[in-house]
A and B are shown apart, each in its own frame.
Chain A
Amino acid sequence: MFHALADATRRDIVTRVLPREWSVSALAREYPMSFAAVQKHVAVLERAGLVSKRRHGREQLVRADIDAVRRASSVLDHFEAIWRSRMERFGELLAEPEKGTDP
């Protein structure tokens, strides 16, 4: 549950910082959580290579790397095809009569 919530928050942060820069403090006002918690989510996204941060006076400004988000999507498309075919074989195998290790 916590993970699902964290995922949703990060997805939302990326969506917000795709079209324009946001400060971490402005982002923090958008969620029912502490500044530190939002900062942590931003740090995860930064480590993932999806957003970058820069300092502007006292503010930290966050923006998404559009290209990076696109590339991540294309790798996942690749993975989708692999897993679709795995699940197809998985299902076929399960549908075989239960006969232990017969070919």
Chain B
Amino acid sequence: MTVIDIRKDPENLRMTVTAEFDAPVERVWQMWDDPRRLERWWGPPSHPATVVDHELAPGGAVTYFMTSPEGDKYHGWWRVLAVAAPRSLQFEDGFADDSGTPNPDMPVTTANVQLEPRADGGTRMSIATTFSSLEQMEQLVEMGMEEGLKAAMGQIDGLLDAA
């Protein structure tokens, strides 16, 4: 796997990640479509994700929580805006309260996932994440992107420094 490109576009409050995989589009799609697979990559290893609801259909919901080493649970949700298996998925991604109910006061980002087959049978995947306002972005930072994520970030920073 190679992350071939991360494009940060602060003027549009957007970040686009492009990665290529030596696996066909159908298998890459499963990583989103199968909740058991999704939960293995969505949350950091220190805060494993558990996917509860998973309906990849327009208007459908995906709900999940991440569990910290201390046992605290951080809930999140997606609302699926559009889906065209196995090629594209658009969804809103937000936070929820402890009962899993979406919290309307918390920031929501929009993700646009596109899968393209490569001539050699591999897949090129791009994910564009867009924020609706700077204020919302700052709110995320103030929250420490969830304390748990912050801790996980520290580990990642360490890895990147070591690389």
Contact = CB atoms under 8 A, between A and B. Distances in A.
B37 A80 contact: no
Interface in A8-50: 10-11, 13-15, 45, 47-50
A93 to B, nearest CB: 6
Contacts of A80: 6, 8, 15, 17
Interface stretch (B51-59, B60-68, B129-137): B129-137
Given A68-B134, A75-B137, A83 B17 contact: yes
A91 B39 CA distance: 14
Contact of B1 (A45, A85, A87): A87
A94 B27 contact: yes
B104 interface: no
A50 B137 CA distance: 12
A53 to B, nearest CB: 16
B140 A75 contact: yes
Contacts of A47: 133
A85 B159 CA distance: 10
A68 B135 CA distance: 9
Interface size class of B (residues with CB under 8 A): 35 or more
Given A93-B37, A94-B21, A85 B134 contact: no
Nearest to B30: A94
A91 B163 CA distance: 18
Contact of B3 (A10, A49, A87, A94): A87
Interface of A: 7, 10-11, 13-15, 45, 47-50, 68-69, 71-95, 98, 101
Given A69-B11, A72-B10, 8 more contacts: A10-B11, A13-B11, A48-B13, A69-B10, A72-B11, A83-B129, A85-B44, A86-B41
Closest 4 CB pairs of A and B: A91-B1, A49-B134, A72-B10, A89-B41
Interface of B: 1, 3, 6, 8-15, 17, 19, 21, 23, 27-28, 31, 36-37, 40-42, 44-45, 127, 129, 131-135, 137-138, 140-141, 145, 149, 152-153, 156-157, 159-160
30 contacts: A7-B11, A10-B11, A11-B12, A49-B133, A49-B134, A50-B134, A68-B134, A71-B138, A72-B13, A73-B10, A75-B137, A78-B145, A79-B15, A80-B8, A81-B153, A82-B149, A82-B153, A83-B15, A83-B127, A85-B152, A88-B1, A88-B3, A89-B40, A89-B45, A90-B1, A91-B21, A93-B31, A94-B21, A94-B28, A94-B31
